[in-house]
Chain A
Amino acid sequence: MKINALLIDETDNVVTCVEEVPAGNEVFYRKGGEVLSLKAAENIPYCHKAALRDFSEGEEVIKYGEMIGRTNSAIVKGGWVSDKNIYSVPRDYDSELIPEGGNH
């Protein structure tokens, strides 16, 4: 099966489509040794992300195994995840610092 989307990290909850996927078409991506699929709920443009599950407002969106933002509205499984429905969360730099004498 030819894939048209990439899952970067196994813990991600979005995939990046490497082809345009029209609404109703299948998004195919590889996870481990398997090819998985889901139906695109709307048109997903080239290079854009599709949701792997339903999101409610305020949930963390994960890519590269890291949080890339929070949803500011609900997104359905197979929906288009973009700058319109997720936002960047400010950092807490203090918590990231290693205290003096601490180990790296």
Chain B
Amino acid sequence: MQFWGYKRKEGRAGIRNHVLILPTCVCGSETARIVASQVRGAVNIVFNTGCSDVQANTDMSQKVLTGFACNPNVYGVVIIGLGCETVGHKPLREKIQAMTSKPVVSFGIQEEGGTLRTIEKAVRAAREMAAEAGKQQKELCDISELLLGIECGGSDATSGIASNPAVGELSDLLVDMGASTMMSESIEWIGGEHVLAKRAATPEIHNQIIEVCRAYEEHLKAAGQDCRAGQPTPGNKAGGLSTLDEKSLGCIRKGGTRPIVEVLEQAARPTKTGAIVMDTAGFDISSITSMAAGGCNAIIFTTGRGTPTGNAIVPVLKVTANARTFKAMEDNMDVDLSAIVSGEKTYKEMGRELVDVIHDVCDGKLTKAEAYGFSDIAVDHVCRFV
């Protein structure tokens, strides 16, 4: 299978060709938003940290920012810094340039003499970059260039019994064709980690999966939180998910059944091809943020209760097997999988149908969240601000 994408000098092909306006820190976020609003083809993220952080948080932020810049859906990057943040625009630019040959420019608000002067220069730079991006022709790319992120959020009981198994089937079919998939949300492996670990390609990966779950529980315990108190969420419980174990056993089905070839730290880039898992929060927006930073070029999102979320860089395709949710939130839901619950179709049949849907998204069809220009982001933290 092939799709029409944008070939990159390094790594996978893009399925979009965005100019990314990237703030180094919260103080650059509003300026970045204004710059992006002035240039067709540009997208921005609203970054809520980058200053007064402990080193571990800074490390996480830097992985996310550089990961976004290197995401295959990004043609080029315009960085907006302030001047006194932990990692300024110049060092961030140099980091990104060491990772990718795509065009990267940067400006500092304090150096330029305020917001308006920065906007003027950055809009000009972004406009020129967008003009060049417009010249790039799409080329036929092999499906192996696809790295599909697999997410679930606002889960209810239909997620685990219908939409997640269908997406698991999609994942298996894609992996068999040579593509890669990434399932995250490690807190939602807990209670099903022994089942997930059976998919490990090696004993080392098996143990990594178990240890990721243990570490997550211990991390929350150190902050005085029992993971079973926050999960399932009130919405999950109202949707029929009674325990974390029940939620997890349903969640892990979205990753399919193929051997797990790599366990990644949050926001890290894969080194293997096939079915990959990443250690992220169960908080869907944060998990998507980390998977986009890890280089996913498309994301499929199963939901039961319904969610509007979208990402600036990576198209997020929303699917639900809850017929009521699809009807109530049709303007946010992309695919109705409720035929699985009603018994009209099997999850395997609907998984096969999803291959064509994802293929269309790769070819350029906008998801609903993408058409609205949604740009949700949540960078995970390990500690309070200083």
Contacts and interface: CB of A to CB of B under 8 A. Distances in A.
Does A associate with B in a complex?
Answer: yes
Interface of A: 3, 6, 8, 16, 18, 45-49, 63-64, 66-69, 81-83, 86-91, 93, 96-98, 102-104
A66 B247 CA distance: 12
Given A68-B191, A83-B237, A91-B213, A98 B203 contact: yes
B185 interface: no
B200 interface: yes
A93 B356 CA distance: 40
Interface stretch (B95-103, B122-130, B238-246): B238-246
A18 B203 contact: no
A96 B193 contact: yes
Which of A6, A8, A88, A98 is packed against the most chain B CB atoms within 10 Å?
Answer: A88
Given A91-B217, A97-B207, 9 more contacts: A46-B240, A47-B240, A63-B246, A69-B245, A82-B240, A83-B241, A83-B242, A86-B243, A91-B190
Given A16-B240, A104-B206, A93 B245 contact: no
Interface in B211-236: 211, 213-214, 217, 228, 232
Contacts of B157: 16, 47-49
A68 B190 CA distance: 11
Nearest to B207: A97
Nearest to A89: B245
A98 B206 CA distance: 7
B380 interface: no
Decide if the interface of chain B is mainly helix, strand, loop or mixed: helix
Interface in B261-309: 304
Contacts of B200: 104
Interface in B317-335: 322, 324
A103 B200 CA distance: 12
A47 B203 contact: no
B197 A96 contact: yes
B323 to A, nearest CB: 9
A83 B232 contact: yes
A81 B239 contact: no
Contact of B242 (A81, A97, A102): A81
Q: How large is the interface on B (under 10, 10 to 19, 20 to 34, 35 or more residues)?
A: 35 or more
Interface of B: 156-158, 160-161, 190-195, 197, 200, 202-203, 206-207, 210-211, 213-214, 217, 228, 232, 237, 239-246, 249-250, 304, 322, 324, 341-343
- Residue of A3, A49, A66, A104 with most partner-chain B CB within 10 A: A104
Given A91-B190, A96-B193, A49 B203 contact: no
A26 B168 CA distance: 32
B249 A64 contact: yes
Contacts of A87: 228, 243
Given A3-B343, A86-B243, A104-B202, A47 B210 contact: no
A66 B192 contact: yes
Given A47-B304, A86-B242, A6 B161 contact: yes
Contact of A88 (B160, B245, B322, B343): B245
A8 to B, nearest CB: 6
B206 A16 contact: no
Contacts of B246: 63, 68-69
Contacts of B214: 91, 93
Contacts of B232: 83
A46 B232 CA distance: 17
A38 B243 CA distance: 24
A49 B242 contact: yes
A82 B322 CA distance: 19
A69 B242 contact: yes
Nearest to A88: B243
A68 B247 CA distance: 8
Contacts of B245: 66-69, 88-89
A102 B194 contact: no
Contacts of A91: 190-191, 193, 213-214, 217
A68 B251 CA distance: 13
Contact of B161 (A3, A16, A46, A81): A16
A98 B231 CA distance: 27
A7 to B, nearest CB: 10
